[in-house]
Structure 1
């Protein structure tokens, strides 16, 4: 009886893993963007050009999916090379010591149809904190190669000082709040 119970548990666990799908971010159809207030009067925008990520789960059951994301901090791009070099320095991201930012989900909460709260751990430099992204599910389509493609927009606002990105700590020239917007397409593998 114990052997049958053990085999049944293995079968159910194996079927559950097989029923899940893996989706990998399509960098050609995705972007990781941010904006920060400058001198209190306007915003400076930028993006990170190198990143990867994955969703393990089903678009029909997003609440039970897991999300992983990594960003190469050195790929920061504000369109001004001198500013980008400064952002890579010890004043901001210290890319030689901390080359990657990462996010790992801890839960997904459905707010209403097509809208979710993505809870997880965001690691920037030597700090990992709980954070929540507001996510809008854009839908599912078939890609040109026949694969399933799912789309999302995710937004968040963090205080950069919480992550030891502490240049201009008073926020007089560079705002403390960083507004993050991700436009993401994931392809089924």
Structure 2
């Protein structure tokens, strides 16, 4: 693919990044390497012994970047929610939703103002918790175990607080409404 074609298909900053990737001019044969045993040869037995510690200690396979979030990650994947809602919930907790502010930080030339209220920048926190239009929705959840309208938290802290004082059902309701 030529440089002009890359520039036509991608945003300028993306094309520049792609074009700056160093290329190797030496042609090497591809090799498949299994590092699960000393000989580098794949066997089902070696896979079993490699996976056994993960089965015996499930937290070894979990994402433990920050310990205080680990219980939420474990619980989130076992909630009675459709997979797409679980993925949405996870993205909301890690600020990975395509909100206007996130799109601006990724190089898109768009207005970051919330399209619903037209006042604040549309962050994940604003879009799911604190926009005036969204607060009207949260107000109807009368059995919510925490005060969602206290503008002190982001999505992950709200979820952790609901998990702490509420039930799994409360957490499911929170993510479905969000």
Structure 1 and Structure 2 fold alike (TM over 0.5): no
TM-score by length of 1: 0.22
Name the structure where helix makes up a greater proportion of residues.
Answer: 2
Larger Rg: 2
Name the structure where strand makes up a greater proportion of residues.
Answer: 1
TM-score by length of 2: 0.23
Higher relative contact order (CA closer than 8 Å, sequence separation 6+): 1
